[in-house]
Structure 1
Amino acid sequence: MVKTVRSILDGIYFGAAILAALCLIAILVLIVLQMLARWTGEVFPGAPDYAGYAMAAASFLAFAHALNRGSHIRVSLLLNSVPPKARRIVEIWCFAIGTALVWYFVYFGVRFIYWSWKFNDVSQGPDATPLWIPQSVMLLGAFVFALALTDNLIALFTDGRHRVKNNIVEQSHGE
């Protein structure tokens, strides 16, 4: 049962990362199409808006996968200087605060999207995109990130360690 849940969660994190990569490809395509339109004297209305939506979506969708791969910036000076028992307490505190904040964001994100949909709020650009659509993709990424933080917090309580991989190679480039 635990292995099934673990594989489902890892699949969700990886799927969100794939969607983030697709958003980055969409940004590239939009920029190239906008360049081609300018060179040919045409106008591609809404391209900067769509690229912005894709950038927000890519960022939020990548958060969970980046967390578990050890790609988020973590200040480990304090964690490395305390004994293992204190380290576990500090990590639980950090993950608890982060988890609470992201779930808070998700809660109010749902309300925000509901009101955008209810009032038919549209973008200010010429494309007049209903704003609940790009906001929903951002909220999906925030939800997956909150799930990943909760997953790591539960792992700290049950196993005594989180699931964030220690990326020594990338850390050594910054020192």
Structure 2
Amino acid sequence: MRSIYHLYDRILGVITNAAAAIAGLAILLTAFMICYEIIARSIFHHPTVWVMEISTYCLVLAGFFGMAYTMRKNGHICVDFLYGRFPRKVQKGLDIITSILSLFVMYVCMTESTNYMLMSKAMGVVSPSLLRVPLWIPQTFMVIGFVLLFLEIINHLLGDFFADGKEEK
């Protein structure tokens, strides 16, 4: 069973790292788009109609795709002023309870964002701008981000049971 966990951890790690790389590229692309907009607006006096909307979608992608990587690196905010004072067994129990509650929350987020995205696609909802981007496309970023975070929470929970003495991955 431990070997299945380690295989799951490695495969998910590759996927999560790829999502994090895409998130980083989206932030870089956003920076370039905003610089382009500044130059087009201030030097050439021709503002764009697409930079604000597309850069917003890139930032949405970056935020949702980066959540799983942050979970993998134990980078999410935690309040640990009491947690650190508990014995290791109590900490492990609290970690398990927190992971189970987080799985429930992520399950709700996954299903609701999927329903929302599928509804937008079925109804042909588009952005209220000149670009008229089908909104199911940026909404898919939410779904993917929640699914990856859900899988990373499962990985974290399994790690509490199968980790070979490692404190961090």
Return the TM-score normalized by structure 2: 0.89
Change (3 A) 1:6 1:163: farther
Q: Which residue of 1 aligns with 2:24?
A: 21
In the TM superposition, residue 138 of structure 1 has moved relative to its aligned partner by 2.4
Contact 1:117/1:132 (CA < 8 Å) preserved in 2?
yes
Change (3 A) 1:60 1:38: same
- The residue aligned with 2:99 is 95
Could you tell me how far apart the structure 2 residues matched to 1:97 and 1:11 are?
Answer: 25
- The structural deviation recorded for 1:158 is 3.7
Structure 1 65/17 Cα, relative in aligned 2: closer, same or farther at 3 Å?
Answer: same
By how many angstroms is 1:5 displaced?
2.7
Q: Please, which runs of 5 or more residues in structure 2 have no aligned partner? A: none
1:23-172 matches, within 5 Å, as: 23-39=26-42, 40-159=44-163, 164=168
1:23–1:54 Cα contact (<8 Å) kept:
yes
Q: Distance in 2 between matches of 1:105 and 1:99?
A: 10
Give the deviation of 1:78 after TM superposition. 2.1
Identity of aligned residues (%): 22
CA shift in 2, pair 1:162/1:91, >3 Å = farther
Q: In structure 2, what is the Cα distance between the partners aligned to 1:127 and 1:109?
A: 23
Matched-pair contact (CA < 8 Å) for 1:123–1:129: yes
Q: Which runs of at least 4 in structure 1 moved beyond 2 Å after TM superposition?
A: 1-6, 157-165
Deviation string 1:67-121 (CA, Å, 9 cap, x unpaired) is: 1212211111222111222211111111111121112101111110000001111
Task: Please give the alpha-carbon distance, in whole angstroms, between the structure 2 residues aligned to 1:56 and 1:160.
Answer: 36
Residue 170 of structure 1: aligned partner: none
Q: Which residue of 2 is the match for residue 172 of structure 1? A: none
Q: Mark the runs of 5 or more structure 1 residues left unpaired by the alignment.
A: 166-175
How many residue pairs end up in the alignment? 165
